[in-house]
Chain A
Amino acid sequence: MSAIDDFRQETRAWLEANCPHSLRTPTPEGELVWGGSKIEFSSEDQRLWFERMRDKGWFCPDWPREYGGGGLSPAELAVLESELRRLKCRPPQINLGIWMLGPVLLEYGSEEQKRALLPPMARGEIRWCQGFSEPNAGSDLASLKTSARDEGDHFVVNGTKIWTSYGDKSDWMYALVRTDAKAPKHLGISLIVLDMRSPGISVSPIDLISGKSAFCQVFFDNVKVPKSQLIGPLNGGWTLGKSLLQHERKAMSKFGETSLPNHFHLMPLLERYLPEPRSAADQALRARALACAMDEHAYALTVQRMGEEARSRQDVSGLMAIMKLVHSEQDREKFEILLDALGYHALGWEGEAFTDEELAITRAWLNGFALTIAGGASEVQLNVIAKRVLGLPDAK
């Protein structure tokens, strides 16, 4: 028996013994465990699973052991991931630092930075948030203006970041800041990390059309950031930022496999709200709904096909470029149909007159508007497809 087979057997046995049975199910949205200083568990099993995986170094299984990782080879990592999938284990925690910043630190960070930042990250002690977008730098991220002024041994940061998820609950932030106002816009940006408790930082949550949200705006008023917290080269942050976003996409695709699929299934809901006999208007609505459900089916097959093509070493970059666009737009369409199907039932804001499900549909419809904007608006996705996938020329 080969070493990798041994590893599979050991891993399987360890997971069988250590992953609590209650956590071998998809994670409901309210029960995600967010690592960090203010970590909360909704059950004792969650705490056990968190601590066991942490002590194994398996929050970041393929990071080197010296930085708190599990030291697994790529082959071993693949085995661990497949065994986790096999048992349907929930992720022990969600941590932007591990998914996004960690890999960038491993590639671009100094030895000192790796030793300081990675081990606590790997133990799930720090909750990280992201400071990229600004009120005047959305789709055109590179026009960001939050400045980090050179003051000898430290920077002084001024400006504001927006759409920072859980900015109010996070311990540290990684942020893109302008370190050279005169350089062409992509060439004057640096990546820094900063402690959210630093004097001069204030955070205010943002209410959306759908109500309370995780999004925050973060303000920087003469915030001192030691130079040792500059990641990678000065004015070299744009490359690192793009790399971070790539890790985000990768992480989201893995995370997608273990989280609950969207729980509003179109056709069963339609059957409930449009009972027989159907009027002509109901039938027209049903035709729209069927087309939407079929497109969702085609999307699900596309996810499956992309996985198969990647495993057979085909180039899937074209497919990757369409996934966010398709998924977010299909969701919008689905909720438009549900809104029509439920009529006033899907227009309730709160109170006893509506079921929880109806209220959730209303909020999900409203939240859908954010999904075709956040993480690259649909128009930006179309630009990317046109230019990078189809090779269409730039405008003069």
Chain B
Amino acid sequence: MSLVYSEEQRLLADTAREFLAARSPVAAQRRLRDDKAPLGFDAALWREMVELGWSAIPFPEEQGGLDFGCQSLGAVFEQLGRNLSASPLLSSVVLGGSLLQLAGSSAQQAHWLPALIGGDKRLALAIDERGRHDPLATSLRAERSADGFRLSGDKLFVVDGLQADAYLVVARTAGQSGEESGLSLLLVEANTPGLTASPATLIDSRNCARLHFDGVVVPADALVGELDNGLAVLEQALDRGRVCLAAELLGAAQQLFETTLDYLKTRVQFDAPIGSFQALQHRAARLYVELALARSAVMGGLAALDDASLSATERGRLASLAKWKAGVAADKVSNEAVQLHGGIGVTDELDVGLFLKRIRVAQACLGDSDYHCQRYGALSDAQV
């Protein structure tokens, strides 16, 4: 388990940095927002990311992937975070693709993986049903019917859920909300009768949907993985997503910190750069410390994703540590960034607000700091 990027991973990060600086700087994200782009990301840009091979990174070669490991994804997500670049890499590849790779039948894999890797189709994970992430709280029911399942209920805050080709829906096929067993994963095509998607526009202006299932019927072979026992594989895929989000948060916070540091060095008040004042120096130094710890936690989480010798519990612990620490650090950095910029920090003209907004959404996505703190504790107890 290595906590530094390899030479190849550094090259990948360099490529991503140059590509995103040219094609997807923060200004491009601002334009998407101002244009109210319905997709929330730039489809042409996504196509180019696919051509760079990013959508193939985590998958084995026999499934059309590059077999480059999840840690490599981290190198890309950090750069995405630095530029606030929106893409379906998390929803369709890291979450959707991973679930199919880990639990899909060979028919499901053959049908979907090439299309996901090739960027021709998009999957979105429909999991949350309330404001806070909590997979066990799932209560949307999928009743067994003669030749399949019938789904009724709502899914909220589905990342990249608008105009997706299909959804991986976490549904309850047995038991009650709060129970570990009884969860199943169902692949539901977007055009299935009874399914409607509507926008839930969040502060980060990305693609987010509410799904309503009104007696949606899917065939038996829509089941991904085991009936009632979907949780383990779901958590494994979620952990990939959580650590990638942690890397994105780290990249965004790092970029915002550097911007703020520049401002402290150049903004003059009382005839001196404000960064010469000790009260502000110490606050900047504290943020630097937080970011350093967050980087170690993120690297630990990324390495754990690729380490087959770890138990699911230990991997989950490290994933939660990464998401927790990156979230805490990014929250602090973004709050301080606004305050340290003073009046201009609360204007829309400055990019600081865009970072603040994206960081808050990424923090809530797949479990906020409180969630991962408790999960880390529960997994630590389970280890003893």
A residues adjacent to B (C-beta < 8 A): 267-268, 286-287, 290-291, 293-295, 297-299, 301-302, 304-305, 308-309, 312, 314, 318-319, 322, 325-326, 379, 381-383, 385-387, 389-396
The reply to whether B275 and A393 contact each other, CB–CB distance below 8 Å, is yes
A325 to B285, CA, bound (A): 11
If A305-B296, A396-B272 touch, does A287 touch B373 (CB 8 Å cutoff)? yes
A286 to B384, CA, bound (A): 17
Q: 4 additional contacts, CB 8 Å, given A390-B284, A392-B261, A392-B276? A: A268-B384, A304-B3, A382-B285, A386-B282
Q: Of A299, A305, A326, which is within 8 A of B299 by CB?
A: A305
A sample of 15 inter-chain contacts (CB < 8 A) reads A267-B380, A268-B384, A290-B374, A290-B376, A297-B297, A298-B300, A298-B325, A301-B3, A308-B2, A382-B282, A383-B278, A386-B281, A386-B282, A392-B275, A393-B272
The reply to whether A305 and B4 contact each other, CB–CB distance below 8 Å, is yes
The reply to whether A297 and B321 contact each other, CB–CB distance below 8 Å, is yes
A230 to B37, CA, bound (A): 74
The reply to whether A385 and B276 contact each other, CB–CB distance below 8 Å, is no
Interface residues as binary, B285-308 with A (CB distance below 8 Å gives 1, 0 otherwise) = 110110011111101100000000
B348 contacts the other chain (Cβ, under 8 Å)? no
The reply to whether B373 and A290 contact each other, CB–CB distance below 8 Å, is yes
B residues adjacent to A (C-beta < 8 A): 2-4, 261, 264-265, 271-273, 275-278, 281-282, 284-286, 288-289, 292-297, 299-300, 321, 324-325, 370, 373-374, 376-377, 380, 384
Select the residue from B2, B277, B288 with max chain A CB neighbours within 10 A.
B288
Work out how many contacts link A and B, with CB atoms closer than 8 A: 108
With a cutoff of 8 Å between Cβ atoms, the chain A residues found around residue B276 in the complex are 392-396
A379 to B286, CA, bound (A): 11
Instruction: Identify whether the interface residues of B are mostly helix, strand, loop, or mixed.
Output: helix
With a cutoff of 8 Å between Cβ atoms, the chain A residues found around residue B289 in the complex are 322, 325-326, 385
With a cutoff of 8 Å between Cβ atoms, the chain A residues found around residue B380 in the complex are 267, 293
With a cutoff of 8 Å between Cβ atoms, the chain A residues found around residue B273 in the complex are 393
If A294-B321, A294-B324, A385-B285 touch, does A305 touch B373 (CB 8 Å cutoff)? no
The reply to whether B292 and A322 contact each other, CB–CB distance below 8 Å, is yes
The reply to whether A301 and B296 contact each other, CB–CB distance below 8 Å, is yes
A216 to B293, CA, bound (A): 35
The reply to whether B295 and A305 contact each other, CB–CB distance below 8 Å, is yes
If A267-B380, A389-B288 touch, does A301 touch B275 (CB 8 Å cutoff)? no
With a cutoff of 8 Å between Cβ atoms, the chain B residues found around residue A305 in the complex are 3-4, 295-296, 299
- Nearest CB of chain A from residue B248's CB, rounded to whole Å: 18
* Least CB separation from B273: chain A residue: A393
With a cutoff of 8 Å between Cβ atoms, the chain A residues found around residue B377 in the complex are 267, 286, 290
The reply to whether A314 and B281 contact each other, CB–CB distance below 8 Å, is no
The reply to whether A322 and B4 contact each other, CB–CB distance below 8 Å, is no
* Least CB separation from A289: chain B residue: B377
The reply to whether A314 and B282 contact each other, CB–CB distance below 8 Å, is no
* Least CB separation from B275: chain A residue: A392
A379 to B279, CA, bound (A): 11
A389 to B297, CA, bound (A): 21
